[in-house]
Structure 1
C-alpha cells in the first residue's frame, strides 16, 4: 500500500519509518512545536532520497534565517524530486524553494497554482498564511482579505482539521470578523492543545475584542506546556506584555522582557528577536514609562548583527525604531538611503510607506512631534503593506496618537482612542495616562 501524508497525499518513499517521521515532523511544524527539526532529520536518515523531508527541513532552517542551509537543502530536494517524485511533489518542492529563495511574486503564483490542483497540501497552503507569510510580506494592501478568501475557497477540503481551523480563524480575525474568528480558532485549539499557532491566534482574537484579563490567564495556564525553545514562546509572552501595558503595568512588561524577549534570554527566530524587543521597548517609552537606555543599546547591537542590511520592510521599520531610540542617525540615514534606492528601482513591495514610517519615528525620537504627525498622517492607511499582524502594526498608530497628544492636538488623539474603544469596548485607557501626563 502506498504511503501517504496526514492529508491523504501519496509520498514517494518506501520507508514506513520515513513516512511516519515526516508526518509527525510536519504536524510539529504546523503546530509551531519543538522537536520539528529532529523529527524531520529522522525522516531523512530513514530515507536520504526523500525529497519532501529535505524541503520541510529547509523551511525550518528558513524560519531561523539560516539561509545558506535552507537553500542547500532546497537545491538537494529539487535534485531528488526530479529523480523520484510525483507531479504534486515536484510542484511542492519548487514552490517551497521559491519561498526560501525570497522570490515572493513567483512563490505566490506557484502557491496559488499548486493549491488549486492539490488543495489539501497543507505545507504549501501554509506559505501565504500567518503574519509572516507570503501574502503579509507581498506589499499588498489587502493581504488580510486575501488570506481570508483563500481559506474560504479551500475550507470544504479540510473540515474540522486542527491546523486549518487555527489559520482559518486567524484569517477571519485579521480581516475584521473577530467574533467568528475567535470561535473557529478556539475549535482548532480544542482539537490540539499542543499547538502554539492556535494559542497565538486565540490571543490575537482576545487582543482585538479587548479580553485582556482572559488572555493573561490563557498564557499563564498554557505556557508551562510549551518549551522555551518553541518558535513562538517569546512572542506569546510578548502578547502578555502588551496586556500588562494595557493596564499601565510597566514593571510586569519589563519583567517579561527580561525573562524571554531580551536578546540575551530569547531563543526566538531572528525576525521575532528584532520585532518583539523593539516594539515592546518603544511602546513602553511612548506611553511615558522609563526604559533603561542599556536595554535599547543591547537590543540594538543584537539587531544590527541579525539585520545589518535593508531587507524585509517589516524588519526595516523595526530597525528604524532602534536607530531612532538610540539616536543613531548614521544608521538610520544609511538604511533609509538603501530603502529609497529600492523604492526608486521598483524593488520595495510595500512602497513609499516604509521610508515615511522611518522618518516619522526619527522625528518622534527627536521630540519633533508635529513633524511626526505630518509625516505619518498621509501614510496611516498604507501601514498594512509592511506586513505583520494588526496587533504588531498598531504600534505605528499608537506613535501617531502620542505625537498628536504631545503636539497639543489632544482632541484628534482622543477621537482616535474613542474609535478604538468603540471597536474594543472592554479595553481600559490606563496605558495612555502616562503618555498624556
Structure 2
C-alpha cells in the first residue's frame, strides 16, 4: 500500500466523498458545496474563467471545508503573480489559524501542506507533495491538474508526462475527466520529445471534447516542434469556435497561431493577431498574457520586422511597469526585460536586473525561484540587455553556458525558443561564424522543415561570401514557407476580443 505521510495524520470525524471517491470534511462534499467543487474542477480543467466563482461558492456553502480554501490558494498561485500569491497566502493563513486540523481527512491535510509550502515559495517541493498525493489518491483531479501546472512552471518535461501517466490506469476511460487527463498527458509527451505519441494522445483528447483547450494546445505544440506550421494553421482554423473565444488559454493559443504565421514568413498576420487578441486596450495586464505579448514582439524584432512592430512596445512596457512585480518568477522577469528593451527603456531593464541581482545575492532557502533566478533568469536578462546594446559577442558569452539549462526556469520548448533564437541571432551578428554554424546545424538536425533555420544558414553563407549557397538556402526556406502562406490566405482573420 502507498505510504501516507505521518504529518497528514489519519483524520477524525465524518467524511463525505466526491464522485471520484476522495474524502472531504467540513461538508465539502455535501449539497451545494460539493456541486460547486465539481464545477470548479471542471472549469479548471477546461480553463474557463468562472473557476474562481465556483470556488467562492463552495467557500460560502461550506466555510469550514479545507478544500475550498486550498483551491482558492492554488488559484492565487497559478497566475505566477506576486500580488495575487501574497493575498492568497494571507487569506489561507487566516483559515489555517482558525480551524481544528484534527478533523480533516488525510488527503486534505496533504493539500493543506502543499498549499502552505507553495505559498512559502517552494514550488518544486509543492510539486513533489502533489505527486505523493496522486500515488495514494490517483483520482484526485485537483492534485493532478495543479501538479501538472507546477511541472510546467518548473520546466520539468518528464514530470509533465509521468505525473499523469502514473494515474491513468486508476481511471475509468468513460469518465468525463479522462479526456482532459489525456490532454495533459499529451502535452507532457510533447515536452519530453515524444511527438508522435503526443499528437495521437492529444488528438484523442480533443475528439472527446472539442472545447478541451489544453488538449488543443498540446496538439499545437506537437505541430510547432516539427515545423508543421501549415497543418497547425489549418488545425486551428477548423476549430476556432472551440478554442479561440472566452477562455484562459485563448491568448496563448492565438500566440501559437502567430508563431505559425512567423514561420510562414507573414509578420503582418502575426501583428494582426497581436492587435486583435494578444495585447489589446481591453487586456487586463495578466502576467501570463503579457509574457506571450513580449515573446511575440521579441521574435518579430529578432526577425528584423521592427517596422511591423511600430509603436506596440511602449504600451506593453507600460503594462509590465504597472505590475510593479518583485522577484516571484524568473520566467516573467525575462519577458518584462524584453518589453522594456523593445521600448528603448534600458534604464528600467537595468533596474529590474539590479533588483533581482541584489535579491539573488541574499539566501532564500526553500524558494524555488531563487535558484531559477540565479542559474537562468539573471544570465538571460543580462544577455537580452547586451543584445539591445548591440554587444552581440557578450550576448553569446552569456547565453552559451545556460542554453541547455533554460528549462530550469520554466515554460515550454516553444516559449524558451525566443531565447535560443536570440543566441543564434547574436552569434550571426557578432561574426561568430563557427558558433552560428553549430547552432543552426543543431536546429536543422531537429527541425529540417523550418524556414527560419534555413534563412539563418543563408545569412551565414552571405557573411562568408557564398552567394550561390545563400541563394539556394533562401529558395529552400521559401519553398518550405509557401504551404503556410497558402493556409493563411485561406484563413479567416482573428476575431477581436
* TM-score over 0.5 (shorter chain): yes
* 1:294 alignment counterpart: 311
**Alignment pair present for 1:44 and 2:59:** yes
Q: For the structure 1 residues 38 and 261, does the alpha-carbon distance in structure 2 shift closer, same or farther, using more than 3 Å as the test?
A: same
Asked if residue 94 in structure 1 is aligned to residue 74 in structure 2, the reply is no
Range 225-234 or range 313-322, more displaced:
225-234
Tell me which stretches of 4 or more aligned residues in structure 1 moved more than 6 Å.
Answer: none
2:371 is aligned, of 336, 349, 352, to 349
Match of 1:74 among 88, 92, 103: 92
Query: Measured at CA, do residues 18 and 39 of structure 1 come closer, stay the same or move farther in structure 2, by a change above 3 Å?
Result: same
The 5 Å alignment of 1:33-432 reads: 33-64=48-79, 65=81, 66-75=84-93, 78=96, 79=98, 82=101, 84-130=103-149, 133=150, 135-138=151-154, 143-158=156-171, 160=173, 161-226=178-243, 228-262=245-279, 264-267=281-284, 270-290=286-306, 291-292=308-309, 294-347=311-364, 348-350=370-372, 351-410=374-433, 412-429=435-452, 432=455
Q: 1:168 to 1:406 in 2, by over 3 A?
A: same
Look up the SS of the partner of 1:378 in the other structure. Answer: coil
Deviations 1:260-317, CA, capped at 9 Å, x for gaps = 11152335x7222221111110100111112445211110110112243332110111
Aligned partners of 2:19 and 2:183: how far apart in 1? 17
Greater displacement, 201-210 / 338-347:
338-347
Q: Which residue in the other structure is 1:18 paired with? A: 33
Higher Cα Rg, which structure = 2
Contact 1:99 1:107 (C-alpha < 8 Å) held by counterparts = yes
Displacement after TM superposition at 1:49 (Å): 3.1
For the 8 Å contact 1:77–1:93, the answer to whether it is kept is no
Return the alpha-carbon distance in structure 2 between the equivalents of residues 156 and 42 of structure 1.
Answer: 32
Contact 2:36–2:55 under 8 Å retained in 1? yes
Q: Judging changes above 3 Å, is the alpha-carbon distance between structure 1 residues 34 and 335 closer, same or farther for their aligned structure 2 residues?
A: closer
Q: What TM-score comes out, normalization by structure 1 length?
A: 0.88
Distance of 2:265 and 2:100 partners within structure 1: 54
User: How many Å separate the matches in 1 of 2:322 and 2:316?
Assistant: 10
- 2:440–2:457 Cα contact (<8 Å) kept: no
Aligned residue pair count: 430
Q: Secondary structure in 2 aligned to 1:32?
A: coil
TM-score normalised over the length of structure 2: 0.78
Describe the SS at the equivalent of 2:397.
helix
Gaps of 5+ in 1: none
Q: Which residue does the alignment assign to 2:482?
A: none
- Cα separation, 2, equivalents of 1:156 and 1:307: 45
